[in-house]
Structures are given as C-alpha cells and as structure tokens.
Structure 1
Amino acid sequence: SRRARGAAWRAGRAAMWTEVCTAAAFITRLLRAAGGIGEERLRCFRECLQEALCERYKHHWFPLAPSKGSGYRCIRINHKMDPLIVEAAGMIGLSHERLFQLLPSELTLWVDPFEVSYRIGENGSICVLYKSPQPRSSRSSPSKNYNMTTASSSVPVPCSTMHIYPGF
C-alpha cells in the first residue's frame, strides 16, 4: 500500500540521515571556506544536497552489507563535477564553472552506512568524517551515540548543527 511504502521510505531515510548530513555538511563547509557565498544560500545548498542524496541512495543503502553499493554512493569531483552537487548548486545560482573554482579539483567522498570519508587529490590521505559501530546482528540499528571525527576534531556533532561546526 501507499502508506506502507511511505513508512518504509521514512525508515530508510532515517537510517542514512546522519551519513547524508555529514557528506552535505562537508561539501557546504568547503564552499563556505572558499568564500563569497552567504549563509542563507549555503543553508539552501546543504538542504538541497541532503534531499538529492537521500533520493539517490534510497535503493542503494545496505546497512547489513555496508560496502555493497559504495561505488554508486561515491561523490566524485575530478574532470567532471558530481551531478548532485551541480543540481544543488543550481538551486542557489552557482554555475558549473564557479563550482570548479570553489571546490577542490580532485575530491572523492565515500558515503557508506556507518562511515563517511574523503580524499582530496588522487594520492591524498583518506580522512574519516564520521564513523559509527556497525550493528552486531540484523535486528540491531546503528547506535545513536555516534562519533564525528575530522582531521582536527573528534567532537560528536548532531546533524542539525553541522552547518556551524568547527574543525575542517
């Protein structure tokens, strides 16, 4: 039924929300650091990217096999800009060309159940943005007591405040 499908989608979205928020906040933080974009536009970008990521991942999120679908969920900037970033940027009037000026020319962001990590440059180190313990059994769900880890901070940060967190 439509109601059951809606409930299943909300449950699936909740399962990936922390990881999606972490990824969107990271890209937003990179844009903020580059300068020239107001906070309201950045907030809109982040929210648009969160929605786009949830929609893209809804049939590709496997908490019991976190590496399954990892390539599909990877956000990539190299000679091309990831289309979801382009879509969210378009919502705030940022052009494709401007994105290439503001964001690293080589970025890989892995958004997987229980972990979000990134690498800047082809030979850069992989840095973990978020890591949570995996459930011990199929009936478990991820712990709500997650840890947010960045290159300079290991402070847990709830998703609702990620747009203001320090540490990048």
Structure 2
Amino acid sequence: MLEEIKSVTAFFSKWLSDKFDQKVVNEFKNALESELLVRFKGHWYPSDPQRGQAFRSILIDGVQTDPLLMDIASRLGINLNDFENCLPRNCVVFIDPYRAVCKDLETGRGNSYHVIYQGKPEANNDLSKTLLQQKEIPKGVLIVSSSN
C-alpha cells in the first residue's frame, strides 16, 4: 500500500511544483500520504484489488476537486484557486493494490488512462518500455517498479 500511495503523492506533487515552492509541495505530499494511509486502512484488498476501488479514488471532475485534496491545501494555507489551477483537469485517480492509474474523463473513452504505479514486475517491464518509447511521457507519470 505504501508504494502505491507514495507514487500517487509524487504524481500530485509534480503538478504543484511548477507553482509552489518545494517546502509547500513537500508539506502537501506528506499530508496527503498520511491521510491516504489512514483512509485506506481496512479498505485494502491485495487478493481482490478492485474491491473498494471507488473508495480509494481521487476525483477532479472540472466541477469539484476531491475534498481530501482541498482540505489538505486549505490546512496548509495554500491559495485554493492557485491550487486547483495546478491540478490535472477532469480525471480520476484510482489507487489499488499493485496499481495506480489516472483516468482521463474528458476524452470519453473508457481506456484513456496513464499508469502512475505498476507493482507487478513482469507487467511493469512491458509498461516501462511502452512509456519510454513515447516521444513524451505525460507530466506526472512516474515509472515505478516494485522491489517484490
């Protein structure tokens, strides 16, 4: 669970790093990591990764940014308009055992997503090759492999 969460917090931190100083970005990253660890306790099912998926999602749908993100930004004194303007638009991040993805809600296609974390080494090797062969890796996409 920790590797998946760390990858997602790094994903969001990359979006913030263009607008905010590193101290604020690190504080946000640490607070989000702590909140997600607490939230997911009792809702993490490695033998059935899709179970509880909606509970473990972070939604930014163009109308509302996930309250968890907004609460953390508010507690840290971050300007909420600046904060929302830094984030990706119209997406949902699913954080599941062995995998975290950011699904694009704008395209309307069911399979339009970026992998943030892939924990199965055999799957990750193919994923890494595919992403590295692209001319540009989308901002915020990290290739992280599990040491397991």
Q: Normalising by the residue count of structure 2, what TM-score does the alignment of the two structures yield? A: 0.76
Q: Does structure 2 retain, via aligned residues, the 8 Å contact 1:19–1:113? A: yes
2:90 to 98, 106, 114: 106
Q: CA offset at residue 119 of structure 1?
A: 2.2
Gaps in structure 2 of 5+ consecutive residues: 132-136
Q: Normalising by the residue count of structure 1, what TM-score does the alignment of the two structures yield? A: 0.68
Instruction: Mark the structure with the bigger radius of gyration.
Output: 1
Distance in 1 (CA, whole Å) between partners of 2:144 and 2:82 is 32
Partner SS state of residue 71, structure 1: coil
Give the partner amino acid of 1:119: K
* Residue correspondence of structure 1 range 146-161 to structure 2 within 5 A: 149=128, 151=131, 152=137, 156=144
Assess, with a 3 A threshold, how the Cα gap between structure 1 residues 59 and 39 changes in structure 2: closer, same or farther: same
- 2:71 counterpart of 1:62: no
Gaps in structure 1 of 5+ consecutive residues: 1-15, 134-142, 159-168
Give the partner amino acid of 1:30: W
Distance in 2 (CA, whole Å) between partners of 1:118 and 1:130 is 10
**Percent identical:** 25
Assess, with a 3 A threshold, how the Cα gap between structure 1 residues 109 and 156 changes in structure 2: closer, same or farther: closer
Q: How much is the aligned-residue C-alpha RMSD, in angstroms?
A: 2.5
List per-residue Cα deviations over 1:115-137 (Å, max 9, x = no partner). Answer: 0111234326211111122xxxx
Q: Does structure 2 retain, via aligned residues, the 8 Å contact 1:24–1:50? A: yes
